[in-house]
Amino acid sequence: MSAAGSDRRRVVITGLGVVSALGTGRAAHFEGLREGRVGIGPIERISAERLMIKIAAEAKGFEGTDYFDRSQLALYDRVTQMALVAAAEAMAQSGLEIDEELGLRTATIIATAMGGLHTQDENYYAVYHEMKNRVHPFIIPRLMANAPVSQVSMKYGLMGPAWSVATACSSANHAIGQAMQLVRSGACDAAVTGGTESVLCFGGIKAWEGLRVMSKDGCRPFSKTRNGMVLGEGAAILVLEERERAMARGATILAEVAGTGMTADAGDIVAPKMEGAARAISLALADAGMPAEAVDYVNAHGTATAINDRTEAAALRAALGEHAESIMVSSTKSMHGHAIGAAGALEAAAVVMALTENVVPPTMGYEEPDPEIGLDVVPNAARQAPVKAALSNSFAFGGLNAVLAFRGA
């Protein structure tokens, strides 16, 4: 039997929860994507007085106090709060009832590249600037990178394999791909997976400013006038299940996670290599048993930096051949910003929308074609079009690439 053999266990999505700059809840996220609403604007949650970059994609309507009491908030950084809210929505939609038997066979694989950055930032300020000698005893449980996955697993009694994934901008795609493989292999029957990130604190933004890859005026992926990425925050959590089990219990199947491709450039820490990205795309297609011609839509990494956008366009041509010229490609980062470790999860949500509603989200902010891109980037307005299969690309600093292949239900 080949790796993509027809008798292999298939893995489907039965639940989805989202927190993003477009709103809290998958309905708000989908509505924003359909409308082409840009969630990028002036930073409001902190003072931007000492910031060079004064825009971001903040989840402005999200407040932890709306969901958690004081004792819980003592344990939850904003990154964990978002993961728990998204997980609650995903679990509710899935209708998955976790008894002890299923709990033992359900994985929790949740990504975050930066962890509890708000907690770290606040407490560095306390000990270095305010000269405090003590911090709250729960600081480590709040800031550790595995806090979101640990809190989600504890809330739902998920006792199967559990870990956090941190591979910069590819973190969520790596997490979803690993969760899919656990279910497909038979090691687990279900998985709660995705990504969460909140880096929009003073120290977090200052650190990203140092890279000189951020735009001061907006995110314009693939446009000749693009001048950098815009940071975002949020979380998206997916419930994955073995298809036959999901069908037997009458679950609504949103889409299938059909394949994954993971590669490393082994090159530069910040400059991507076309060959590594193209290989990840090809591996995802092969893993899914999906010919290039079957792909209708690609949710691009699309950071709006010159080198990344051009490298990704070249990689799509290398992996998809002539079909790349007719495929729909868009970057939803133009609306919800670049949420780093949560980026791939928010983009997986966009792919689910495309597969379930046949609506391809747009690339907003597009002003002028870049002749080195030359793809159909669905500029500035969503498009009604049949979508039966799609790819989602994530290409991270350090040359760590992860691509997911999806099919409609």
Could you report the per-residue pLDDT of 350-391, keeping only the tens digit for each? 999 999 999 999 999 999 999 999 999 999 999 999 999 999
Instruction: Write down the residue that tokens 């600081």 correspond to.
Output: 139
134 pLDDT above the threshold of 50:
yes
What per-residue confidence (pLDDT) applies to 179? 99
Report pLDDT for 4: 55
The fold adopted by the segment(s) 11-248 is Peroxisomal Thiolase; Chain A, domain 1 (3.40.47)
Between helix 274-288 and helix 306-320 the angle, nearest 10°, is 40
> If we measure between CA atoms, which residue out of 16, 27, 1 comes closest to residue 257?
16
At residue 393, the pLDDT reads 98
CATH architecture designation of domain 260-408: 3-Layer(aba) Sandwich (3.40)
pLDDT attached to residue 6: 61
User: What are the domain boundaries of the chain?
Assistant: 11-248, 260-408
The predicted-structure confidence for 170-184, as pLDDT tens digits, reads as follows: 999 999 999 999 999
Query: What is the residue type of 297?
Result: Y
Residue 323 pLDDT > 80: yes
- For the chain, give the mean pLDDT: 97
Which tens digits make up the pLDDT trace of 35-60?
999 999 999 999 999 999 999 999 99
In the predicted structure, residue 1 carries a pLDDT above the cut 50: no
pLDDT band per the 50, 70, 90 thresholds, residue 263: very high
- Catalytic residue selected from 29, 118, 336, 338: 338
Distance of alpha carbon 368 from alpha carbon 374, whole angstroms: 11
Catalytic residue among 29, 118, 169, 188: 169
Instruction: Summarize pLDDT for 213-247 with one digit per residue, the tens.
Output: 999 999 999 999 999 999 999 999 999 999 999 99
pLDDT at residue 2, as a whole number: 40
323 a catalytic residue = no
Q: Is 169 a catalytic residue?
A: yes
What was the pLDDT predicted at 5? 53
Q: Known catalytic residue: 336?
A: no
56-100: pLDDT as tens digits: 999 999 999 999 999 999 999 999 999 999 999 999 999 999 999
Judged against a pLDDT cut of 90, whether residue 127 lies above it is answered with yes
The residue type of 21 is: A
Q: What is the pLDDT of residues 295-321, one digit of tens each?
A: 999 999 999 999 999 999 999 999 999
Secondary structure (DSSP) of 187-246: S-SEEEEEEEE---SHHHHHHHHTTT-B-SS---TTBTT---B-BB-EEEEEEEEEHHHH
Q: Determine the pLDDT at residue 135.
A: 95
Provide the 8-state DSSP code for 398: T
> Distance between CA atoms of 237 and 199, rounded to whole angstroms?
18
Give yes or no on whether 11-248 and 260-408 have one common fold: yes
- CA distances from residue 95 to 16, 19, 247 in whole angstroms, order as listed: 11, 20, 12
| Cβ neighbours, 10 Å, residue 111 | 36
